[in-house]
């Protein structure tokens, strides 16, 4: 078994054990079994940076499991690869999908809805010596806030609010080896598109036509929403993003993994921006707000066909003085 396939097998087993574990000591045991000493974790606000398996279990996963004792993992994309392709660079496994839970107890100050609730997620696992040494994990907590009826900016979504589906081609679970030429083509296209985008961090029509299929799917995080096709993409994302935000800093991607027709890119942080146009319904302000971002792509032929985007919205809003979770205490 190749190094990449071995790493993917490790994560499949870890996730199975984690999903089967009850909140508390069993969840701790699952993390201890597969993680290296001093596991490094970077998550969305309020988790942010954690160290050691027990800390991740106690702060992230056990509270979620206690709030949603019936929690189903709906994995849509699963891939592995070395950062930026060379075999000697960091080996990462990436999983993306939705957690579907029966929300029966309060979580992070969000009151239980007593209803099925979906939580979009993407997890990057770095593997060394058959152990997980680092996890970067984005949970779309604002999606749970919204389903609880407590998102005051829902009417300001420029795209559609929905549970993003998996790939249109239903082929995102790359459990076996993938064609090396396809992997290289996906990586090259992803890298070329991002390099062109970073020249001005705008998406003019020629950029979109050059890199994207006309009937593209763009699935943004809660706070932005989903858009379809060139016209929908401009209306639902790029126009509000480019006209209501001023980009102050653009940073290079930290991890780019590709396998087969899929790729995943993680920035921590990605952009530092100022909200100059009431973006997302938040009043314009002078704060320098940081975006942490993950993008997952599907290539079809010579162009990109689908994009799933995760942004740490709670962190972005907190940088602007809006503490979503703290504010819940005033409305519940």
Nearest Cα neighbor of 321 from 252, 261, 275 is: 275
**Is the pLDDT assigned to residue 247 strictly greater than 70?**
yes
- Which whole number is the average pLDDT over 296-313? 98
Question: What kind and span of H or E run contains 67?
Answer: helix 62-67
- How does 77-96 read in b/e, with b if 16+ C-beta sit within 10 Å? bbbbbbbebeeeebbbbbbb
- Regarding pTM above 0.75, the answer is yes
Three-state DSSP class for residue 179? coil
Contact in structure between 278 and 244 (CB atoms under 8 Å): yes
Average pLDDT, the chain: 95
Overall average pLDDT of the 92-97 stretch: 98
Please state the domain extents for the chain.
Answer: 3-152, 180-330
3-152 matches 180-330 in fold: yes
Q: What is the pLDDT of residue 270?
A: 87
CATH code, 180-330:
3.10.450.50
Is 90 exceeded by the pLDDT of residue 248?
no
Phi, psi of 245 (to 5 degrees): -125, 140
Has domain 3-152 been given CATH number 3.10.450.50?
Answer: yes
pLDDT in tens, 52-94: 999 999 999 999 999 999 999 999 999 999 999 888 789 999 9
Q: What is the pLDDT of residue 331?
A: 60
């Amino acid at each position: 078994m190749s190094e990449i396939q071995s790493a993917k097998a490790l994560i499949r087993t870890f996730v199975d054990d984690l999903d089967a574990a009850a909140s508390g000591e069993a969840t701790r045991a699952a993390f201890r079994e597969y993680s290296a000493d001093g596991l490094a974790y970077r998550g969305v606000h309020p988790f942010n940076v954690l160290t050691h398996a027990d800390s991740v279990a106690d702060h992230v996963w056990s509270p979620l499991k206690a709030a949603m004792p019936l929690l189903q993992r709906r994995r849509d994309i699963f891939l592995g690869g070395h950062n930026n392709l060379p075999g000697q660079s960091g080996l990462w496994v990436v999983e993306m999908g939705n957690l579907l839970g029966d929300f029966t107890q309060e979580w992070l100050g969000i009151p239980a809805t007593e209803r099925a609730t979906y939580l979009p997620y993407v997890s990057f696992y770095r593997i060394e010596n058959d152990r997980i040494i680092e996890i970067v994990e984005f949970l779309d907590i604002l999606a749970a806030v919204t389903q609880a009826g407590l998102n005051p900016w829902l009417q300001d979504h420029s795209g559609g609010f929905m549970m993003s589906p998996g790939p249109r081609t239903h082929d995102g679970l790359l459990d076996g080896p993938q064609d090396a030429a396809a992997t290289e083509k996906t990586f090259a296209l992803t890298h070329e598109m991002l390099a062109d985008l970073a020249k001005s961090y705008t998406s003019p029509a020629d950029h979109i036509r050059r890199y994207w299929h006309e009937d593209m799917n763009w699935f943004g995080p809660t706070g932005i929403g989903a858009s379809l096709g060139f016209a929908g993409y401009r209306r639902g994302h790029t126009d509000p993003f480019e006209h209501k935000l001023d980009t102050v800093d653009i940073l290079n991607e930290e991890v780019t993994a590709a396998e087969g027709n899929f790729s995943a890119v993680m920035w921590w942080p990605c952009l530092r921006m100022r909200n100059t146009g009431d973006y997302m319904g938040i009043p314009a302000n002078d704060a320098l707000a940081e975006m942490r971002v993950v993008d997952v792509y599907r290539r079809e032929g010579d162009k990109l066909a689908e994009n799933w985007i995760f942004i740490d919205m709670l962190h972005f809003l907190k940088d602007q003085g809006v503490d979503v979770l703290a504010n819940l205490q005033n409305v519940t």
